[in-house]
Structure 1
């Protein structure tokens, strides 16, 4: 006798089994999160050359495309696409190397000179600190302190010396590890350059292969949605990263020109610090300004005060004029979500997370918003946020639109 299966209850049973299985996987992942995170870290470290190669290819791709368009207009169809791609790829790397060489040829010597000057002045600063301490001791007659107090001070001083000695002793293996990591980093970077060359040479083929595999495994509408999301993510990332790099370059140049105009010391070193840290939204100006002010404070305290005022004005110019003109609304995030993304991804990935956290969270935010709006439309509900606000407490919007003047 053939058993009578109820399709409804079979479906419920399947869903129940799937829910239990997924729940078990989630619980196991939470319990073993440190091990899973360690395995992920090892896996990412293995893929480091490929990640570097992809990043280099992503950065150099616009330059390659521009050179290809220019060469295509100059040569027409006289060159095969493969030959043109090889020529343009060689020109791309030549242009990049020339630009970087000129930049470092101008910047590095001045930075080395500034660092050397600071190192030479350190003994003088230490002598000044020692003289200041002696003046304090003489002024407040600290030589006549009780014996027990002097013993406590000497004991604390000995503890500090032993701590410093211990730190220096423990630093030896760390120096060895740092040397190995630098060597590994150089090798990974060389491999990354080679991988980026292959990626740029065959970028259309890689894209077609990925699309082919996706269409073989996933329904076509889903594939198209994934491609749309990828294109949107590319626009957000490329717009933010290129705009932020250009903005930081302009701020660094303006800082250098302003410091030279006011004859402030260590102009190149401080301008590089300000320009590089300006890449990080919101927190970058403070990260760059604090060590720069400390450097000037050790040399000329009054100049440090003027520099703090100068940087404040420069960042106001950047935040209100230069940044909005270059970046516009490339991410679509409010200030709250920008700070949130920098804090979260910065704690997870460090400085790299603070830089890529904003465009990455912008993509996540956009996907969540699109999903929410799609679900609301299916339910026949409005998609504007203001429609869900309380009538007693409506949203505080921007400036209201100007009412047209009535004709008399």
Structure 2
């Protein structure tokens, strides 16, 4: 009697599914522990990916040099130049934003109490025919100046005092700093030895995969890389254009804090779809501390600019590079934001673009196969 061959793959899959269902809480705890162990390495790889977008063209440029020293150490020099560029960009952002924020905070302390008092006077005049409401407003007797000072004092000193007195929080801060150092060091190692990882990938594929399977996986990886790199470059370029246009328009309209607000609008606009509105809300509040009327002018100008950016700049700069139709962008932002917040919005678009491109290639191949089969049937008939 012949024994039937056991389908080990199916058996292992069913066993894993049963364990997952019966021990779901333990599996999730194990996954959480595993993520805590590798999260720094994952973030380091992500940082390396972003820096490599700057490093790669620099390395290609150095490859054209005739100097033996430059050719020998082109990767290290390209990495050093890339890190210097990133540090200078971060320093420029801090230099543009922080002084203006401090100045705006000082203005807020001086100006807002007067606005609150004027608002209270306005409501008293508005309800002058109703003595009960006026009496209620007068009984409130709020010292708005003291309220603003207490709020500013809490945000500047209260939080720092709580951080300084909480031992657990200090430990968290130290852990975060250590993790950040690990992320940066791992990113540097990845960038210096990136060719080693490529060779390791090809060796593993040659050992365990068929050539056709390796070709499909390599093509998919290239599509994913192209989608992410195009999306990041497009977002940065679009943010630069929007921030510069916003600052230039504010200079022309003589609105306060043009450099700071333009920088904020541009940087926060890296968040797809809603970034410009968040930056605009912060900018409107900053302008409001100087003049309520100018804040209305800024709001109108930003709405016009945002429409121009959404309908003309964004589709041309980002949409054309990523290759994802607008309806899919909207669906991805909504679903990704609901599932994972801002990271879901940011990472969802290139992930969806990769899936869209791979699915399109798959459908095109299937259609070609179907056409070939139909053609063979016609020939035989």
Among candidates 50, 60, 66, match of residue 59 of structure 1: 50
CA deviation string 1:347-386 (max 9, x = no partner): 232212211210111112223333344444444499xxxx
Q: Distance in 1 between matches of 2:199 and 2:190?
A: 13
Change beyond 3 A, Cα 1:80–1:255: closer
Contact preservation (8 Å) 1:248, 1:279: yes
1:104 positional shift: 2.9
Question: Does 2:343 correspond to 1:345?
Answer: no
Change beyond 3 A, Cα 1:255–1:244: same
Contact preservation (8 Å) 1:48, 1:188: no
Change beyond 3 A, Cα 1:106–1:374: same
Among candidates 89, 102, 109, match of residue 99 of structure 2: 109
Contact preservation (8 Å) 1:52, 1:189: no
Q: Distance in 2 between matches of 1:26 and 1:372?
A: 30
Greater helix content:
2
1:262 positional shift: 0.9
Q: Distance in 1 between matches of 2:341 and 2:96?
A: 29
- Give TM-score scaled by structure 2 length: 0.78
Identify which range, 132-141 or 274-283, moves more after superposition.
132-141
Map of 2:63 onto structure 1: 72
- Give TM-score scaled by structure 1 length: 0.73
Contact preservation (8 Å) 2:96, 2:259: no
CA deviation string 1:40-90 (max 9, x = no partner): 3443333232123212221222332333333333334x2375533323322
Unaligned runs of 5+ in 1: 147-152, 154-167, 383-408
Unaligned runs of 5+ in 2: 141-157, 374-381
Map of 2:262 onto structure 1: 271
Q: Distance in 1 between matches of 2:122 and 2:34?
A: 54
Contact preservation (8 Å) 1:214, 1:223: yes
Contact preservation (8 Å) 2:255, 2:294: yes
Question: Does 2:259 correspond to 1:261?
Answer: no
Q: Distance in 1 between matches of 2:54 and 2:288?
A: 42
Change beyond 3 A, Cα 1:277–1:106: closer
SS of residue in 2 equivalent to 1:233: helix
